[in-house]
């Protein structure tokens, strides 16, 4: 895929916009990761 | 635990000693060649590739893998995680030897090694990142020396000096974290000056952050890896406290490494996104980048998490080995594989066998000294005369430790 960027501003708007979406997804990802890693601890604590 | 030497005398001709002895012998011969005939006689270095194997492995990997010292002492003395206390001394010793050997290896790599102290005492290049790296490494090596000193002083029976040095441990730990943060990241910052030489997938404005974050994962993994090896080969030098805490250290550090690797993976993806380098992933270099990112970052991260979830220590130890290999691969990629990637194949650098032999020689020296010190000083056990004299930590007076802080 070829991207045509006319100015540095256009480029940054595009990449930083993508990074912001990515960071939102990461926040959810890290939450899921932590839940996966420590899920058993919580189950054991309840028992 | 048996601190006393067993009555039965063991032969010195063990497979380990023979192999290490042979490597040291070959290394000594090449050392003589290097210092009599010069760099050209033993290396494949050139004007295009003035930094080779010795920088990639001995310095870049050496510094990253010695990060266990600051990560462990920070966890114990600053975060107050006293249950990992038995891991501090082995980690400090590994770091101290690691940094000492980095300095030793530089003597081989620098054209005029007797001028190594020049930047500090004769001609300071205060605007240079390399100057900052050199200064931090020198200062941190001094810090590690003082942090390691109590073990030697306990062995020698100098209790007054030992008790004074122990009081310095907390401020030195804080200084050590500052210095480590600075030079671990600055090693990555060295490459910011060469955007046209380093492949875009590895080049990023975030290189210093990548190097720093990956060094934490390397440090935590090295503590697990080194602990596993020591547990196997130096078992008779360990006391009950060390043996009791060993599994907890593996599990707690595994959890820490999983989180750090997850963060590292995510910021690497942010790096690709910010520079819009997605299209490079379809190339040969892209495949190699994915091997590093998925095989040596994402995979050990998942294995660490699975190991912590299932309380599977073998899995955590395997993940630690994979992480250590991944950090080595990353440093090799940045300094050698992806560096000068646009040069024709004939002008690319590949280390000579003598460069590889010197790197192995330095590793063999490190292993020998580590084994010697561990067998003769209280590294894996507490000296019976000094059990009650632990250094204070930040949380001792002001904060009550919370059982859920980090670890399990």
**How confident is the prediction along chain A (47 residues), in pLDDT tens digits per residue?**
566 667 889 889 999 999 999 999 999 999 999 999 998 776 666 55
Inter-chain touch B273–A18, beta carbons under 8 Å: yes
Interface residue ranges in chain A relative to chain B, Cβ cutoff 8 Å:
1, 3, 11, 14-16, 18-19, 22-23, 26, 29-30, 33-34, 36-41
- CA distance linking residue B372 with residue B155, whole number of Å: 13
Token couple for B120: 């500090």
Three-class SS of residue B198? strand
The confidence score (pLDDT) of residue A3 equals 63
Inter-chain touch B274–A41, beta carbons under 8 Å: no
Token couple for B196: 């046209």
* Dihedral, B352, B354, B356, B358 alpha carbons, nearest 10: -150
Report helix, strand and coil shares of chain B as percent, to nearest 5: 75, 0, 25
From chain B, pick out residues whose CB is under 8 angstroms from the CB of A18: 273, 276
The confidence score (pLDDT) of residue B104 equals 95
Residue of A nearest to B254 (CA): A37
Q: How far is A47 from chain B (nearest CA, A)?
A: 16
From chain B, pick out residues whose CB is under 8 angstroms from the CB of A42: none
Chain A touched by B308 (CB under 8 Å): yes
Q: Which of B305, B310, B311 sits opposite A33 (nearest CB)?
A: B305
Q: Which of B258, B274, B311 sits opposite A19 (nearest CB)?
A: B274
CB-based contact B359:B23 (threshold 8 Å):
no
Inter-chain touch B266–A26, beta carbons under 8 Å: yes
Instruction: ipTM value, please give it.
Output: 0.84
Residue in B309, B316, B319 to test binding to A, most A beta-carbons within 10 Å: B309
B224: left (phi over 0), alpha (psi -120 to 50) or beta: alpha
Q: Which of B262, B270, B279 sits opposite A19 (nearest CB)?
A: B270
Q: Which residues pair with B198 in a beta bridge?
A: B339
CB-based contact B187:B63 (threshold 8 Å):
yes
From chain A, pick out residues whose CB is under 8 angstroms from the CB of B310: 40
Inter-chain touch B276–A15, beta carbons under 8 Å: yes
The confidence score (pLDDT) of residue B328 equals 97
The confidence score (pLDDT) of residue B8 equals 56
The confidence score (pLDDT) of residue B407 equals 37
Q: Which of B259, B273, B311 sits opposite A19 (nearest CB)?
A: B273
The one-digit pLDDT tens for each residue of chain B (408 residues) are 444 445 556 677 888 889 999 999 999 999 999 999 999 999 999 998 999 999 999 999 999 999 999 999 999 999 999 899 989 999 999 999 999 999 999 999 999 999 988 988 888 888 899 999 999 999 999 999 999 999 999 999 898 999 999 999 999 999 999 999 999 999 999 999 999 999 999 999 999 999 999 999 999 999 999 999 998 888 888 888 888 888 999 999 999 999 999 999 999 999 999 999 999 999 999 999 999 999 999 999 999 999 999 999 999 999 999 999 999 999 999 999 999 999 999 999 999 999 999 999 999 999 999 999 999 999 998 887 776 545 555 655 444 444 443 333
Q: Which residues pair with B339 in a beta bridge?
A: B198
Taking Cα atoms as reference points, which of B290, B320, B358 lies closest to residue B55? Answer: B358
Taking Cα atoms as reference points, which of B305, B327, B326 lies closest to residue B316? Answer: B305
Inter-chain touch B274–A30, beta carbons under 8 Å: no
Three-class SS of residue B339? strand
């Amino acid at each position: 895929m070829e991207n045509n960027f006319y100015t540095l501003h256009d480029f940054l708007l595009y990449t930083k916009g993508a990074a912001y979406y990515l960071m939102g997804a990461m926040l959810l990802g890290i939450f899921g990761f932590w839940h996966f890693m420590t899920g058993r601890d919580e189950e054991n604590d309840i028992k | 635990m048996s601190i006393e030497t067993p009555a039965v005398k063991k032969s010195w001709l063990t497979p380990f000693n023979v192999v290490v002895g042979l490597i040291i012998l070959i290394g000594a011969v090449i050392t003589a060649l290097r210092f009599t005939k010069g760099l050209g006689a033993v290396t494949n270095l050139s004007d295009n590739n003035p930094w080779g194997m010795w920088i990639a492995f001995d310095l870049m990997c050496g510094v990253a893998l010695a990060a266990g010292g600051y990560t462990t002492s920070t966890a114990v003395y600053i975060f107050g995680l006293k249950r990992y206390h038995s891991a501090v001394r082995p980690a400090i010793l590994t770091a101290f030897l690691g940094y000492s050997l980095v300095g030793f290896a530089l003597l081989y790599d620098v054209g005029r090694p007797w001028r190594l102290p020049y930047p500090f005492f004769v001609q300071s290049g205060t605007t240079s990142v390399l100057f900052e790296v050199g200064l931090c490494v020198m200062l941190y090596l001094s810090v590690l020396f003082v942090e390691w000193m109590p073990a030697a002083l306990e062995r020698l029976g100098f209790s007054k000096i030992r008790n004074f040095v122990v009081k310095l441990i907390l401020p030195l730990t804080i200084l050590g974290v500052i210095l480590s943060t600075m030079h671990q990241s600055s090693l990555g910052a060295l490459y910011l000056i060469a955007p046209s030489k380093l492949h875009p997938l590895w080049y990023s404005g975030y290189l210093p952050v990548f190097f720093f974050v990956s060094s934490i994962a390397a440090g935590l993994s090295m503590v697990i890896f080194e602990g596993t090896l020591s547990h196997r080969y130096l078992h008779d030098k360990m006391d009950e406290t060390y043996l009791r805490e060993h599994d907890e250290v593996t599990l707690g550090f595994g959890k820490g490494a999983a989180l750090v690797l997850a963060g590292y993976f995510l910021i690497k993806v942010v790096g690709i996104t910010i520079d819009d380098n997605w299209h490079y992933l379809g190339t040969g270099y892209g495949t190699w980048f994915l091997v590093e990112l998925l095989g040596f970052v994402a995979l050990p991260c998942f294995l660490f998490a699975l190991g912590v979830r299932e309380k599977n220590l073998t899995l955590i130890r395997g993940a630690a080995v994979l992480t250590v290999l991944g950090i080595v691969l990353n440093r090799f990629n940045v300094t050698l594989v992806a560096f000068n990637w646009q040069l024709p194949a004939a002008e690319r650098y590949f280390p000579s066998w003598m460069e590889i032999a010197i790197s192995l020689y330095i590793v063999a020296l490190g292993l020998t000294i580590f084994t010697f010190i561990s067998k003769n000083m209280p590294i894996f056990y507490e000296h019976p005369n000094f059990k009650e004299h632990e250094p204070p930590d930040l949380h001792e007076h002001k904060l009550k430790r919370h059982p859920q802080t980090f670890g399990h």
